[in-house]
Each structure stands twice: as C-alpha cells, then as structure tokens.
C-alpha cells in the first residue's frame, strides 16, 4: 500500500491518471491474488 500511495503522490504521472477519468470513473481497490493461470505453449521445446 505504501508503494501505491507513493506512486499516487508523485506529480509526474498525474496527467496519465486524470485523462482516463474524463471518460470513465472507477472504484479504486486493493486486491489479493489468490490464484494465477498461465497458458501452456504447445509445440515448443
């Protein structure tokens, strides 16, 4: 959470956060990864 807040407090990427909000809104959240899935590559050794 500390890293996320540091990113949000940095003014350099602020325009990149503000531009999408002109088109849509979102509910920010923190999520815990409980399982991941990876594709299998067929035909590669």
Structure tokens at 21: 């909000």
Residue 41 falls inside a structural domain: no
28 falls within a domain: yes
- Segments forming the whole domain that contains residue 22: 1-35
- 1 contacts: CB under 8 Å, gap ≥ 6: 30
- Residue 43 domain-assigned (yes or no): no
Q: Map residue 8 onto helix, strand or coil.
A: helix
Structural domain total, the chain: 1
What is the reported pTM?
Answer: 0.35
CA-angle at 33, arms to 41 and 10, nearest 5°: 105
Residue 45 lies in a domain: no
pLDDT one-digit tens code per residue, 1-45? 788 888 778 889 888 878 888 888 878 788 899 999 998 877 665
């Amino acid at each position: 959470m500390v890293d996320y807040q540091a990113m949000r407090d940095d003014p350099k990427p602020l325009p990149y956060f503000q531009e999408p909000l002109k088109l849509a809104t979102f509910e920010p959240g923190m999520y815990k990864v409980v399982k991941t899935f990876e594709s299998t590559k067929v035909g590669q050794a």
